[in-house]
Amino acid sequence: METAERRQILKQSLVAAAARTIERRGLAALKARELAEAVGCAVGAIYNVVEDLDDLVLAVNSRTLASLEGALTAAGEPEKGRASRGSDAAIGQLVRLSIAYLDFAAAHRSLWRAVFEHRLPRRLPEWYLEEQMRLFGYIEEPLRMLLPGTPKGRRALLARTLFSAVHGIVTLGLEEKLHAIPPDALREQVTFVVSSIGRGMLRRA
Amino acid sequence: METAERRQILKQSLVAAAARTIERRGLAALKARELAEAVGCAVGAIYNVVEDLDDLVLAVNSRTLASLEGALTAAGEPEKGRASRGSDAAIGQLVRLSIAYLDFAAAHRSLWRAVFEHRLPRRLPEWYLEEQMRLFGYIEEPLRMLLPGTPKGRRALLARTLFSAVHGIVTLGLEEKLHAIPPDALREQVTFVVSSIGRGMLRRA
């Protein structure tokens, strides 16, 4: 095998091992020595294929975002068999995206938490920022229908704000600290708040 | 001085010193040895007045909640000199509470973050939970006007959900990770989303 190919395979194994550790024991449990043992390489070999462990976490988080995107794509499609008005359809789409986000977070708590907990000691690379931005695009689509004529920059900011609101509900709702909210009640709350936002936007617009 | 009084004074000094450390360097920087040095006592003396450092953090967080409550009380009062309809007044009140929360978080970032970061290795004490619940009461008041006839339990859950939504917007908005949003734009976003929720609730009700 070529060296480049071997490095690529080692990197993939390390990313998979890091994802398993984060999934089972959380971001803080990630240690170079254990990763090296898990993939059967020397500790030093890790730093031949990545700059540091943060690089591995970025790669894991990128996989998590890709898997979230899969869930959002399914949820973002227009409902079949129901002909609803444009604005109702857009509100329904926002609600489905939010519920998909909630379900994803509940099903992959540790991996999902790592996306937000991880602090890169340098600027996030452009490719990673672009992946995040692409996800906001899913929210911008129904917003385009609810708030026609809103400039692109403002719509992008609003998509991010709506995401943050749903993220807050999901995070604090799943958290045990303040009594966790039962899953069905949490879904109902997300639905009520997101559809209220949608209707309220229309009322202003 | 009586022993009880001396212990009380030492505890107050320790809470004040812990608050200063958290404010300047964050929760993770809290160390028993440094606290003892700051107040001029032996390290062991700390554990005569509190069970552990977590007890001190709870006391600091309780002070932070009290200071947040002061900000919310001021914001929650009905606007003077403007006779608005009941529902408009309630929406205005929700928006002012949200903005007060945003401004508080922006002005006291480290202390505010500690309230959410701190994980007590045992159940939160009842007195602390009651302080948190009392704060949700500020949100329940305008909800009573916007959603009359909603059962108390549901209104309480909804107050918590609305709080979580605003908390999410504030947290991710102040965070530098994903490009921080400039303060004025963040205020405008909070105002738009919270007033949309309020109008959307009315539309359903």
CA distance B187 to B3: 49
Chain A residues in contact with B201 by the CB 8 A cut-off are: 196, 200
- Nearest Cα residue to B14 out of B35, B37, B45, B43: B35
Q: Which of A74-78, A124-128, B46-50, B181-185 has the lowest mean pLDDT?
A: A74-78
Chain B positions in Cβ-Cβ contact with residue A174 (cut-off 8 Å): none
CB proximity under 8 Å: A 166-195 to B: 166-169, 171-173, 177-178, 181, 185, 189-190, 192-193, 195
pLDDT given for residue B52 in this prediction: 93
Interface of B with A in 91-150 (CB under 8 A): 119, 124, 132
Give the whole-number percent of chain B exceeding pLDDT 90: 78
Express as a percent the part of chain A with pLDDT over 70. Answer: 93
C-alpha gyration radius of chain A = 20
Greatest alpha-carbon pair distance for chain B in Å reads 63
Chain B residues with beta carbon closer than 8 angstroms to that of A201? 196, 200
CA distance B45 to B7: 9
Alpha carbon distance B112, B24 (integer Å): 12
Going B52 to B36 to B110 to B136, the CA torsion angle's sign is: positive
Q: Which residue has the higher pLDDT, B100 or B78?
A: B100
pLDDT value, residue A83: 57
- Output the pLDDT for position B203: 74
DSSP structure class, residue A41:
-
Q: Which has more confidence, B74 or A61?
A: A61
What average pLDDT does range B144-164 have in this prediction?
94
Provide the pLDDT for residue B201: 92
User: Which has the closest alpha carbon to B150: A83, A149, A189, A71?
Assistant: A189
- The residues near B73 (Cβ < 8 Å, ≥ 6 apart) are B138
Closest to B140 (Cα-Cα) out of B204, B69, B90 = B90
pLDDT of residue A84: 64
Chain B's closest residue to A190, CA to CA, is B161
pLDDT at B119: 86
- Confidence at B75, pLDDT banded by 50, 70, 90: confident
Tell me: the pLDDT tens digits for B1-14?
A: 678 899 999 999 99
- Mean of pLDDT over chain A: 91
Which of the pair, B160 or B183, is modelled with greater confidence?
B160
Segment A44-52 shows an average pLDDT of 93
A160 or B85: which leads in pLDDT? A160
DSSP A79: P
Q: With bands split at pLDDT 50, 70 and 90, how would you rate the model's confidence at A177?
A: low
Asked whether the beta carbons of residue A157 and residue B199 sit closer than 8 angstroms, the reply is: no
Report ipTM for this prediction. 0.89
Distance of alpha carbon A130 from alpha carbon A65, whole angstroms: 11
Q: A36: which residues sit within 8 A by CB, 6+ positions away? A: A42, A43, A45, A46
What is the DSSP code (8-state) at residue A30? -
Answer whether B111's CB lies under 8 Å from B22's CB. Answer: yes
pLDDT, position B115: 94
Query: pLDDT tens-digit profile of B98-113?
Result: 999 999 999 999 999 9
The two tokens of residue B122 are 């045992």
- Using CA atoms, how far apart are residues B90 and A192, in angstroms rounded to an integer? 18
B98 or B84, higher pLDDT? B98
Distance of CA A153 to the CA centre of its chain: 22
Question: What confidence tens digit (pLDDT) does each residue in B175-196 have?
Answer: 866 667 888 999 999 999 999 9
- Does B17 contact A at CB distance below 8 Å? no
CA dist., res. A106 & res. A123, Å (int) = 29
**Mean pLDDT (whole number) for A97-117:** 95
Answer yes or no: is pLDDT of B22 > 70.
Answer: yes
Q: How far, in Å, CA of A56 to CA of A47, rounded?
A: 11
What's the whole-number mean pLDDT along residues A138-157? 93
The answer to whether B66 and B28 have CB atoms below 8 angstroms apart is: no
DSSP letters for A99-147: HHHHHHHHHTHHHHHHHHH---SSPPPHHHHHHHHHHHHHHHHHHHHHS
Q: Is the pLDDT of residue B79 over 80?
A: no
Q: What is the pLDDT of residue A119?
A: 86
Buried b (16+ CB within 10 A) or exposed e, B54-82: ebbbbbbbbebbeebbebbeebbeeeeee
How many Å apart are CA B116 and CA A184, to the nearest integer? 24
Chain-wide mean pLDDT for chain B? 91
